[in-house]
Amino acid sequence: MLNFEKGFTLDLDLKTGLSKKVDTKKRYLSDLRGMFADDAALEAMIKENDDVIYEYHTLPVPEHEGDLAFGSSIVYPGNVAGEYFMTKGHFHTILGTAEVYYCMNGQGVMLCESPEGDVKAFELSPGTVVYVPKRYAHRSINTGNTPLHTFYVYRADAGHDYGTIEEKGFRKLYVEKDGTPTLVENPKWAE
């Protein structure tokens, strides 16, 4: 049914019987240890209930040059000591790879950062498209009260480098200040 040589159509709700072929991954609070500024607050939340923070759904795509990988992600609303729930974030292994996100539901921000430290933040709301430039790590952040649901597409052989972000973090964080999403310095960021 998924013929990457001849093309296909797909219902984004996956009602076509393809749901068995979709790779669904869920990330829990405990999967984001070290990602939030307040480790103690995160551990207290994990002890109370290790909730799902986000999930993503992808199709098995041939990782060939010229093919496109795509899927959808859902970041749930919430925060750890005022820092909004987010995805881990990643660079692409092939650093010269861009990515496109289309926001279907919710409110949030796509936080992007180059290896040299240039930081960009793009608002996400229903109907907006974010073009993540080549060479930029990126993470989705839910700044609203409902699930943030996005569709994404990128070069299928791009690969994912989560390790750099796990080791260093992002230079900036999104926290709630006086009811407003605010970009602040990450006190844990490592050069």
Q: What is the pLDDT of residues 65-102, one digit of tens each?
A: 888 988 899 999 999 999 999 999 999 999 999 999 99
Residue 185 has pLDDT above 90, yes or no: yes
Task: State the pLDDT confidence band at 1, using cuts at 50, 70 and 90.
Answer: low
Distance (Å, whole) CA 139 – CA 121:
10
Task: Give the contacts of 8 (CB within 8 A, at least 6 positions apart).
Answer: 1, 2
User: What CATH number does domain 18-185 carry, 2.60.15.10, 2.60.120.10, 2.70.150.10, 3.40.50.300?
Assistant: 2.60.120.10
Eight-class DSSP state of 166? H
Q: Which tokens in the block code for residue 32?
A: 């984001």
Distance (Å, whole) CA 65 – CA 154:
11
Task: Identify the pLDDT of residue 189.
Answer: 84
Lowest mean pLDDT among 35-39, 112-116, 143-147, 166-170: 166-170
Cα pseudo-dihedral 60, 64, 70, 74, rounded to 10: 70
Per-residue model confidence as pLDDT tens digits over 2-50: 666 667 665 665 444 445 566 789 999 999 999 999 999 999 999 999 9
Task: Identify the pLDDT of residue 14.
Answer: 47
Residue 57 has pLDDT above 90, yes or no: no
DSSP-assigned states of every residue in 31-93: GGTTTSS-HHHHHHHHHH---EEEEEEE------TT-EEEEEEEE-S-EETTEEPB---BB-S
Task: Identify the pLDDT of residue 65.
Answer: 86
Q: Which tokens in the block code for residue 138?
A: 């990126």
Q: Which tokens in the block code for residue 101?
A: 């996100």
Residue 124, number of CB atoms within 10 A of its CB: 28
- What percent of the chain has a predicted confidence (pLDDT) above 90? 74
